[in-house]
Amino acid sequence: MSSPQLPNYLKANRKRLALSQDEVAFLLGTRSGAKISRYERFAREPSLRTALAFEVVYKRSTSELFAGLYQKVEGEVTERAKILSERKDFGKPSSQSVRKREAFADLAAS
């Protein structure tokens, strides 16, 4: 067992590149470093566009940069997949329903 990961590693990656919050804000096309500070303090979650911009700046995948958030979302999706995989009403057995059942089972097992 290990501790759950931090929601994001934006601060560590910014420090790794010796960038200031204002410089990152400029690269991301936002007005001030205050927004970056809020992301780094886990007070705000960025939009998809901003998350992708972070990926470009820090050269790390989004799931790596937002590891804790990814872990949380993964857990939630897995739980929902379990509910769907236990459903009986998949309709007539067909190659499509078999494929769907496999997909849910695969997600539920992850």
Partner 1 sequence: MTKTLPKYPRILGIALSTRGLGFALLEGQNILADWGLKAIDGDKNNGSIARVREMIEHYEPDVLVLEDTSIKPFRRSTRIRMLTKRIIFRAEKRNVTVLLFPREQVSRTFVPDGHGTKHQIAQIIADKFSDELGFRLPPKRVPWKSEDARMDMFGAVALALMPRSFISAVLLSIPPVDREQVLRDRG
Nearer to partner 1, 12 or 83 (CB): 12
Contact 79, 73 (CB under 8 A): no
Asked if residue 2 binds partner 1 (CB under 8 A), the reply is yes
In angstroms, what is the minimal distance from the CB of 93 to partner 1? 42
- 17 vs 56 by CB, closer to partner 1: 17
Which residues in the 29-58 window bind partner 1 by CB under 8 A? 41-42
Distance CA 41, CA 45 (A): 10
Span near partner 1 by CB under 8 A; candidates 13-21, 23-31, 83-91, 101-109: 13-21
SS3 assignment, position 6: coil
Q: Nearest 5°: CA angle at 12, between 71 and 32?
A: 100
How many whole angstroms separate alpha carbon 6 and alpha carbon 84? 29
Residues that bind partner 1 (CB under 8 A): 1-3, 5-6, 9, 11-12, 15-16, 18, 41-42
